[in-house]
Structure 1
Amino acid sequence: MRHYKKTILATMVMATMPLLAATSSTPIKVTTFVDEDGENPSACSLREALRTAETRVAYGGCTVTDTLSSTQKVIQLEKGVYTLKKELAPNVSVAIWGASPVDWQEKNVLLNDIVNQYPAQIPLQTTIKAENSRIFNTTLGAKALSLNNLILTGGRTADRGGAIYAGADVALQSSQILDSQAKEGGAVYLAGPSTTLTLTKSLIQGNQADKGSVLSMSCFNDVTYAKRTLNLTSNSFIANGSGNSSSMIEFCGESTATLTTNTIAKNIVNSSSGNLIKFTGDTKPGTEENNNSSILSNASNILLTSNTIVENQAFTTLLYDKIGGKVLTYNVLAYNGGVNSYACRYLFGDVVNQEDVSFGIAYNALSLKEGDSTSPINNICDVPKESLKNNTTNLNVSNISIGTLLSPLQAASAYTAFLPIYYPKKNVTEIEVKVDDKTTTKIVGLLDVDGIACSTTDQRGLARIVDGTLYYNPEASNRCDIGSVELMRFTAGDLQDLTNTSISGAMSTYQAQYNFFDNLVKNPNNPDFLTYYKSRLDQYQKLLQYTKANLKYRAIYIDLSNYQLPLPQDTEQADGSYKLEFFNPDLYNVTTEPLGKGQINDTVTDIDGSDKENLVCVWNKDLQQIIFYRKDDSITQAGDKIFCKYTITSKSNPNISSSGLIRAAFANIAPVATDTSLTFKYKEKQKLSLNLLNFANDHGDTGEGGTGPEKNPNKSQFWKNEEGAELPIRLTNVPTNDLSITADRKGACPAPDEKETCYGGNVYVQEVNAFNPFNFSFNYQVYDADGVSSNSATVRTISTATTTDDTRPASSGGGSISFYSIFGLLGLLAYRRFKK
């Protein structure tokens, strides 16, 4: 059986090895820029990597990293240009990654949170270039394709899909498709019965096709509509198409399209008949269910939210009919083409009195007809009267120039997340509007419209924070800006529902993080990350040093950056570019003022200043935090809040100033008890003493080494009764048949546990039977000075009969039987039965 056990162990180990290899996430690494196909066994090309991923057999110079047939394979490319001799046709679900476009030696200019300051974003580093072919064709294998951190350029075909001809799902993240050409679908063509497209944070530029210079698709799968789900988010579509293009994006089939925070600009389609975005059935304007002659299903929908669609050359920017649902919110959809051009056009002519068009439109910047005006309007958005009924949220820009509302198109840079974008301008303009036959003046602009249902982030990835409160200046509260970019304005926001947490717990976390990054600085796992590691080490060193130097009783330490406050400022530079400027304590003054307490609902209804003298709210320049605490030890009652006002003002420009309201509550942090043990000498009758308070503390309120509140700095950590006797220890689960426990003093516990017995001073523990060779345990908890109980901790009694005085034979085993012993007995039984 000894040999059998070795054999089964070896079999188990060998059986797990293929599983470990199959579940490895290690990518296939491409090691040559040359488009090789098996002729060089010492290098791995992209084409060879795709074949290796498909067959799960080494090919060329590529090594297999994943042997499962069901997983998506991963291929990693290096910085440089990969030139293709012919198109790539993946027959396996694959994710291809370019070199990470980051620099760990520099900070990200769009983030001020120290956790995310590193690394800096840089331009894309990896390019796949076609010499004279399409780049990807997945129609044969019909497998999903994911592309990340890649530039695709130069794709060419006389057919469909200049860069990508997709027979299955396609996802592009932080990538680019440049200078590709096709008959249809200059950048991407979607084939297959249910192909989806996900395009995020990418640049699509300079692509051309007769139809769909950026995107086109097949409409039917046999006689049923092809299902299309398209999510286009935070992309820039720039300078695609030509005067011969009929469209830039061509929808058909059963399409569900969501376009959010995109910039669509400088694109060209035919000026007399071309449509930038085409969403029509082409044949029937009706909505009957069996509309089989239509290329667009009635179940289709298109949702445009927070896009900037300007300066395109097109006869129609958005062409629509009654088929499918259309919803447009928070878009700038204007300044495309000239007089006689349309921002929105109904396929079958005059739409004003049409019903059941399913066109929702709100909070957009558009050129609209007002009343019965017949004057020509540049790039009008022609929508049904029913769509504008009781809707006064759209901004009519017919008489407003683009330069009044938007900056020029900004070149890609670190401040634009390396995508060309427009910034909305701060300045507004006055226009005359008619309301009930009366002419009034209205101030208009793209900033801070009434709604809050725009995209949660802008095209750069910055949070719009449109639901933040601003008690001291509510009219300056941030609201949605129309378009793909939210113009950031320096704003101190209100902070709600803050409370003190364990100070010792925070210090322990800081120490653990300091140790972690100190080890990484001394032993970096990647030298590229060393600058980042040093930054984080410095952060936690300062937190440890300055928090310890500013221990305050039950204090709330408020790091504004944890709340993304204050909001940064987008500042226009002399050359017309924009720069995002974050709060810097060296450039701003921070002042604070404690206010008192009060009751609140949605807003502050009353602040009682009589409590103000007990409050301290102060900016600590070393810690770079606001410290908010009480001079006494009162806790905040339910329904109340304690208030502090903070104001941040620019040192160079006092006009740049903003105030915020801090709403907080002060609570008692429960004390902490920890486990401990006692060791009894076997066969010796011992009474051992134990001071359990040495294993407990109330440092959550004070911090280790801290004192009580300013008005009572010598406040005891632990509970004392009315006579001043310290009785904070409560024992539970005591095995009274085995252990005898006494203490220096005892009495009633604090309410609401006054019926229980508490102890003070030393606790004395004695085994009832010194010859008992077993270990025991009991629990204890402690009460702080305010009578709040700690967690339950354990005291273990250890008999040396189970340790140093254990006289049992080492091989006794206590009657246990191993798995292999059972296996052996079963084998022996089977052998005997076989012999019989």
Structure 2
Amino acid sequence: MHTYKKGLLCVMVLSAMSLMAADDRTIYVTTFADENGENANACSLREAIITAKKNAAYGGCTPGNTVFGQTDYIQLEAGKYKLDSELAPESVIIINGASRENFKEKNKLTQTYPALEGIKTIISGEGRTRIFNTSKTEISFTLNNIQLENGYAGTKNGQNGRGGAVLIGGDFTLKDGAIVNSKAEVAGGAIYNVALNNEKKISINGSLIQGNTAAKGSVIAMDCYGNLDDTKPVVYFERNSIINNGSSSSLSAFDFCGLAKVDLITNTIAQNKASTSNGSILRMVTEGLNRLSPFSMFKIKSNTVVENEAHSTLLYDENGSKYVDFNILAFNPGGKSCRYYSNTGVPKENIVFILAKNALNLGTGTDQCMLPKSSLDATAENSKNIDVSTTSFSTLLSKLISASPYNTFLPLYYPRNNQTATDLVDVNSSGCSDYDQRLLERADDTVLQLNPDLQSSCDIGSVEQMNLAAVDVFDLKNSSLVTLLDYYQKNIDELKEIIADSNTNKEDVDDFKEELADYENLYKYTKQYQKYRAIYFNPIELAIAGEERVLDSKNEEYRIKVLDTKHYDIIAEPLGIGVLTFKDGQPILNGSMDDLKCEWKADLKRIMIYRSSGALLENGDNAYCKYTIKEKAGKVQQSSGILKVSFTNIEPIATNDNYVLDASQYLTMSVNPLENDSDDGDGPISTVTKPKAIYHQNDAGQDIPIRFPELPAGLIMKAEHEGPCPEAYIRDTCYGGKIQLTVKNAYSQFDYSIRYAIFDADGGMSKEATLLLKNPAKDTNSSSSGGGSFGIYGLLALIGLGLYRRKMK
């Protein structure tokens, strides 16, 4: 599941934002009126588009990005912009509606800031005009968080009756927006793509397409020919709700032709209408001048296509390649859910129609999906389609759930889990879309060793049912406690700075304060509970939250039950050290419990895993813990996971040291590099039950952790203790105790830099540090001027003068 997180480096991001604000080239629209140069005191949407083209002030708008050919950004406010005539962008623009993010509340799906709210910005054609037209300019533009409504393309006054909301000649992107209640008299109630031979992409993401009508293509239609060749439309629809478009007299809702490349991924396409005598919802055929190229390609994945009313929901012929998988394509009254376009209606065999794990009516009569037998037979056994011809709609799906914060404001259907063969939940296959329509990550490969029968896999349709599931983790290792605490402290310091900064958006403060409290608790309780070589695991971070159905007298909702310690208990227990196998979901350990500890710390919100002895594992063994996440109320669901753990030796820490040589002691210095060094990365050795040396020792039990790769020329070293280094460096000598360093030349004026590293008791070696011997003699030499002295610069001057005289001669 995607989450919203700021974390470390917020200051850098905010600093960048402040710099951008100082150089803000956004064109801000300040009036809802449709003005065109007559008012210098306000900037209208139309004037903003003209300003972007001119790269100069127009009306009440200031210039945006004046670099030739660069994209301009236009910012709209919350409210409705009513147009008198269509808008025709002539330069690349991105128009942003008012933000849908509310940082004072949490998202209902992720339980993280910010919450998602409904669309706040509307551009209306008022039922009298098309909204956007780039058919002549062929320019690309993008709309974010904007609803287009009441667009109209008629056939009078030179209009062509195509593209009720938008008539597209270039790339067009609509993200997190809507196109509603628009009409075209001829084709393309919402969108029409005009004739072009080069590929232009129409991309609609996370949006609502509802209530649009046209004689042909109530949602989208397109030209089929351009310049005596097939057009090349590229159409990408992902995570949209396409609801209640068309009418009983429409020929189609989606009307594809030309050399089309079409991706329909994770959409809800429902309750749309077309003629029950000859109409289709998804029309992809050659008919007369409406030519579909044999080289077209259609990818239809993880869609819910139900309750549409037409002669054919999916109308196809032998032209183009179709890849159809993980869709619900059934329960469409009034005609066939799938129909082959020919005089006989019998599908031609050996066409490219690839199927996998769809829910289809493979029976006869109304709603039947008529498919080539060769396509059905070619489907692999683990990808067989599910025949729902004898199953009721209400058994498999909820009713259409209204838009709400729990479904990203997109009406959709939820699957029901009856644990039967015809269920659309966990169909023991992978390959569905990575995310469902709500942008929740599908758990299509989750395998639980303790619950093999509850393996999570793909659901069919646009919505994945979320079931509570712990996750097995097989690669847990301890990391440096010093690094971990330092990371927490840096976040604490930076978040405090952000909160105190007067430039911080006050809407964000609640989010930052909550995050600060989390990091402060992590720092406090990690230090309080710290153990030697401990692993701190967050069981909630990787787990999948469960979903609950909420009913009242009027509404039905499906809500994610947030994973936190308020709603769930966490139980942790050690399984032991050795080799773990499973039989019918039961763990079998070849080993022993030994000194393994697995403890849930509620205030730390972590499972701590460690050995009381602090010892490393041997002979390929691993340590194993079991943890369980259990609901405190409701259905009291629970799920358990396995944690496979290995302990590693964290390298010690060597720190740079500076010493000043004492001339009165004949440039001899006694040093102890270990004074600033440590082995704290492993955690406090004092917490182990068995006494243990910290550093590498010699046979006499004396600490000799220091290795010098080489000594600078001119230095003599004498150590209190010495002996061979650990195995990897056994030919080298390591030192410990007091180390005496003497400069051979008592008149030396040089500093001496000595590289060294240290070894801990397990042979781990630190990164190299530097021991610097600073020589004060170089600062009191006789090279300064005065007293008849002759310094180096004087000598160089004389040499230069001599060379000059020789050259002159």
How does the TM-score come out when normalised to structure 1?
A: 0.86
SS at match of 2:314: strand
1:593 Cα deviation after fit: 2.0
Q: Which residue is 2:7 aligned to?
A: none
**Residues 366/711 of structure 1: CA separation in 2 closer, same or farther (3 Å cut):** same
Question: In the aligned structure 1, how far is the partner of 2:531 from the partner of 2:311?
Answer: 68
SS at match of 1:796: strand
> CA contact under 8 A between 1:198 and 1:230: conserved in structure 2?
yes
Question: In the aligned structure 2, how far is the partner of 1:49 from the partner of 1:766?
Answer: 77
1:127 Cα deviation after fit: 1.2
Q: Which residue is 1:385 aligned to?
A: 373
Cα distance per residue 1:527-566 (max 9 Å; x no partner): 1111011011001000001111110111111112332x04
Q: Which residue is 1:672 aligned to?
A: 653
Q: Which residue is 1:335 aligned to?
A: 331
Q: Which residue is 1:272 aligned to?
A: 277
Deviates more, 1:38-47 or 1:483-492: 38-47
* Equivalent of residue 510 in structure 1, options 474, 488, 503: 488
> CA contact under 8 A between 1:692 and 1:762: conserved in structure 2?
no
State how 1:632-651 maps to structure 2 within 5 Å: 632-637=613-618, 639-651=620-632
Cα distance per residue 1:112-160 (max 9 Å; x no partner): 4xxxx11011111111122321111112221111111111111111121
> CA contact under 8 A between 1:405 and 1:428: conserved in structure 2?
no
1:496 Cα deviation after fit: 1.9
State how 1:710-789 maps to structure 2 within 5 Å: 710-712=688-690, 714-737=691-714, 739-769=715-745, 771-789=747-765
Q: Which residue is 2:192 aligned to?
A: 189
SS at match of 1:243: coil
> CA contact under 8 A between 1:645 and 1:662: conserved in structure 2?
yes
Q: Which residue is 1:819 aligned to?
A: none
* Equivalent of residue 353 in structure 2, options 356, 359, 366: 359
* Equivalent of residue 220 in structure 2, options 194, 215, 220: 215
Q: Which residue is 1:797 aligned to?
A: 773
Q: Which residue is 2:235 aligned to?
A: 230
Question: In the aligned structure 2, how far is the partner of 1:153 from the partner of 1:620?
Answer: 53
State how 1:50-89 maps to structure 2 within 5 Å: 50-89=49-88
State how 1:318-717 maps to structure 2 within 5 Å: 318-338=314-334, 341-350=335-344, 354-369=348-363, 376-389=364-377, 391=379, 393-428=384-419, 443-524=421-502, 525-563=504-542, 565-574=543-552, 575-599=555-579, 607-608=588-589, 610-637=591-618, 639-652=620-633, 656-680=637-661, 685-702=666-683, 706-708=684-686, 710-712=688-690, 714-717=691-694
Counterpart residue identity of residue 537, structure 2: I
Question: In the aligned structure 2, how far is the partner of 1:520 from the partner of 1:23?
Answer: 18
**Residues 628/68 of structure 1: CA separation in 2 closer, same or farther (3 Å cut):** same
State how 1:817-828 maps to structure 2 within 5 Å: none
Question: In the aligned structure 1, how far is the partner of 2:303 from the partner of 2:635?
Answer: 35
**Residues 602/282 of structure 1: CA separation in 2 closer, same or farther (3 Å cut):** farther
> CA contact under 8 A between 2:580 and 2:589: conserved in structure 1?
no
Question: In the aligned structure 2, how far is the partner of 1:331 from the partner of 1:495?
Answer: 31
Question: In the aligned structure 2, how far is the partner of 1:681 from the partner of 1:50?
Answer: 76
For structure 1, list consecutive stretches of 5 or more residues without a partner in the other structure: 1-19, 284-292, 370-375, 430-442, 816-836
Counterpart residue identity of residue 652, structure 2: P
1:607 Cα deviation after fit: 4.7
> CA contact under 8 A between 2:435 and 2:441: conserved in structure 1?
yes
Question: In the aligned structure 2, how far is the partner of 1:806 from the partner of 1:129?
Answer: 87
> CA contact under 8 A between 1:404 and 1:428: conserved in structure 2?
no
1:220 Cα deviation after fit: 2.0
Deviates more, 1:55-64 or 1:488-497: 55-64
SS at match of 2:483: helix
Q: Which residue is 2:6 aligned to?
A: none
Question: In the aligned structure 1, how far is the partner of 2:463 from the partner of 2:635?
Answer: 27
* Equivalent of residue 143 in structure 1, options 139, 144, 147: 139
**Residues 314/519 of structure 1: CA separation in 2 closer, same or farther (3 Å cut):** same
SS at match of 1:688: strand
Question: In the aligned structure 2, how far is the partner of 1:246 from the partner of 1:24?
Answer: 51
**Residues 526/800 of structure 1: CA separation in 2 closer, same or farther (3 Å cut):** farther
1:258 Cα deviation after fit: 0.9
**Residues 30/814 of structure 1: CA separation in 2 closer, same or farther (3 Å cut):** farther
Counterpart residue identity of residue 172, structure 1: L
**Residues 346/730 of structure 1: CA separation in 2 closer, same or farther (3 Å cut):** same
> CA contact under 8 A between 2:176 and 2:206: conserved in structure 1?
yes
Task: Give the percent of matched residue pairs that are identical in Structure 1 and Structure 2.
Answer: 38
1:804 Cα deviation after fit: 9.0
Question: In the aligned structure 2, how far is the partner of 1:550 from the partner of 1:663?
Answer: 21
SS at match of 1:444: coil
Deviates more, 1:271-280 or 1:752-761: 752-761
> CA contact under 8 A between 2:466 and 2:544: conserved in structure 1?
no
Counterpart residue identity of residue 67, structure 1: T
Q: How many residues were matched structurally?
A: 754
1:641 Cα deviation after fit: 2.9
**Residues 186/759 of structure 1: CA separation in 2 closer, same or farther (3 Å cut):** same
Q: Does structure 1 residue 118 correspond to structure 2 residue 113?
A: yes
Counterpart residue identity of residue 427, structure 1: N
Question: In the aligned structure 2, how far is the partner of 1:510 from the partner of 1:167?
Answer: 52
Question: In the aligned structure 1, how far is the partner of 2:391 from the partner of 2:370?
Answer: 18
Cα distance per residue 1:478-504 (max 9 Å; x no partner): 111111000111122211211111111
**Residues 813/427 of structure 1: CA separation in 2 closer, same or farther (3 Å cut):** farther
**Residues 773/99 of structure 1: CA separation in 2 closer, same or farther (3 Å cut):** farther
For structure 2, list consecutive stretches of 5 or more residues without a partner in the other structure: 1-18, 155-160, 786-790, 795-809
Question: In the aligned structure 1, how far is the partner of 2:783 from the partner of 2:84?
Answer: 79
SS at match of 1:732: coil
Question: In the aligned structure 1, how far is the partner of 2:118 from the partner of 2:619?
Answer: 53
**Residues 776/806 of structure 1: CA separation in 2 closer, same or farther (3 Å cut):** farther
1:352 Cα deviation after fit: 5.1
> CA contact under 8 A between 2:673 and 2:771: conserved in structure 1?
no
Question: In the aligned structure 2, how far is the partner of 1:772 from the partner of 1:74?
Answer: 67
Q: Which residue is 1:826 aligned to?
A: none
SS at match of 2:762: coil
Q: Which residue is 1:105 aligned to?
A: 104
Counterpart residue identity of residue 349, structure 2: E
* Equivalent of residue 310 in structure 1, options 300, 303, 306: 306
Q: Which residue is 2:166 aligned to?
A: 164
Q: CA RMSD in A?
A: 2.7
Q: Which residue is 2:800 aligned to?
A: none
**Residues 801/30 of structure 1: CA separation in 2 closer, same or farther (3 Å cut):** farther
**Residues 386/654 of structure 1: CA separation in 2 closer, same or farther (3 Å cut):** closer
Question: In the aligned structure 1, how far is the partner of 2:138 from the partner of 2:79?
Answer: 28
Q: Which residue is 2:16 aligned to?
A: none
**Residues 560/655 of structure 1: CA separation in 2 closer, same or farther (3 Å cut):** closer
Question: In the aligned structure 2, how far is the partner of 1:21 from the partner of 1:394?
Answer: 52
Question: In the aligned structure 2, how far is the partner of 1:486 from the partner of 1:619?
Answer: 30
Counterpart residue identity of residue 66, structure 2: T
Cα distance per residue 1:347-369 (max 9 Å; x no partner): 11446563222111221111113
> CA contact under 8 A between 1:245 and 1:274: conserved in structure 2?
yes
Question: In the aligned structure 2, how far is the partner of 1:409 from the partner of 1:698?
Answer: 61
> CA contact under 8 A between 2:340 and 2:347: conserved in structure 1?
no
1:711 Cα deviation after fit: 2.4
Counterpart residue identity of residue 526, structure 2: T
> CA contact under 8 A between 1:153 and 1:179: conserved in structure 2?
yes
1:710 Cα deviation after fit: 2.8
**Residues 593/779 of structure 1: CA separation in 2 closer, same or farther (3 Å cut):** same
> CA contact under 8 A between 1:335 and 1:378: conserved in structure 2?
no
